[in-house]
Copies of this chain bind each other. A is one copy, B any other.
Amino acid sequence: MPTFVQILDFIGTFAFAISGIRLASAKRFDWFGAYVVGLVTAIGGGTIRDVLLDVTPGWMTNPIYLICTGLALIWVILFGKYLIHLHNTFFIFDSIGLALFTVVGVGKSVALGYPFWVAIIMGSITGAAGGVIRDVFINEIPLIFRKEIYAMACVFGGVVYWGCHLLAMDTVLTQIISGSSVFVTRILAVKYQICLPILKGEEEPDI
C-alpha cells in the first residue's frame, strides 16, 4: 500500500513531467526528447540537491520517477489536445508537487545536519530547479525568473519550516504547515497575479 506522501509524490512528479512534456511538444520535440525534458523537470531539482548534499539521487534507487514520466508521456500522446481543458487541474497538481518537493528538500537537508539557510536553498532547488533545466533545454529564459511568484513560495515554505522547528513542533505537523504555506502562496500568487518587482537597470550593460 502506498502511503499518503507517496501518492502526493506521484501526483507531483506526474504534474512536473507533464509540464516539461507539454513545453517540449510546443517546440516539436520527438517522443524521446519530450520524455527527457519531462524527466529532468520532474527529477532535475532533486538530483542537483542530492549531488550537492553528496547522497545518491532518489531516482537511482527507485524507478517510480521514470515510470511516472513514461505514463505522463503516454497521457500527452493520447490526450494531448484535451489537456488545455485540464489546465486548472494541472495547476493544482503542479502546486502540490511544488509544496511536497520543497518540504522533502528542506527535511532531507535538516536531517543531514545542515543549517537552515542551506535547507531553505535546498528546498527551493528541489522545487524549482527542474523547471530551470527544462527551460534551458527548450532554449527559453527560465520562466521562474520573470513570472509570478514560484520559487519564492519555496523560500517562504522553508522559512515557515524553520519557524515551526524553532517552536519545537512535531515533524509531521511542521511538514504539513510548511507544505500548505507553499501551496497557498502559489495559488494566491497566480489567482491575484502577484509578481515581484522587475529589476530596472541600464539598457545594455557592458560586462
A54: min CB distance to chain B, Å: 7
Contact of A76 among B19, B60, B199 (CB under 8 A): B199
Interface check A200, CB cutoff 8 A? yes
Given contacts A63-B117, A199-B80, contact A205 B30 (CB under 8 A): no
Secondary structure of the A contact surface, majority rule? helix
A191: min CB distance to chain B, Å: 15
CB-defined contacts of A152 to chain B, threshold 8 Å: 32
Interface check A5, CB cutoff 8 A? no
Chain A stretch 85-133: residues in CB contact (< 8 A) with chain B: 87, 90-91, 94, 114-115, 117-118, 121, 132
Q: Are B83 and A202 in contact (CB under 8 A)?
A: yes
Interface size of A by Cβ–Cβ distance < 8 Å? 69
Q: Which of A6-14, A142-150, A166-174 contacts B (4 or more CB under 8 A)?
A: A142-150
Q: Are B207 and A144 in contact (CB under 8 A)?
A: no
Q: Are B200 and A25 in contact (CB under 8 A)?
A: yes
Chain A stretch 18-43: residues in CB contact (< 8 A) with chain B: 18-19, 21-34, 36-37
Interface check A151, CB cutoff 8 A? yes
Contact of A29 among B76, B94, B137, B199 (CB under 8 A): B199
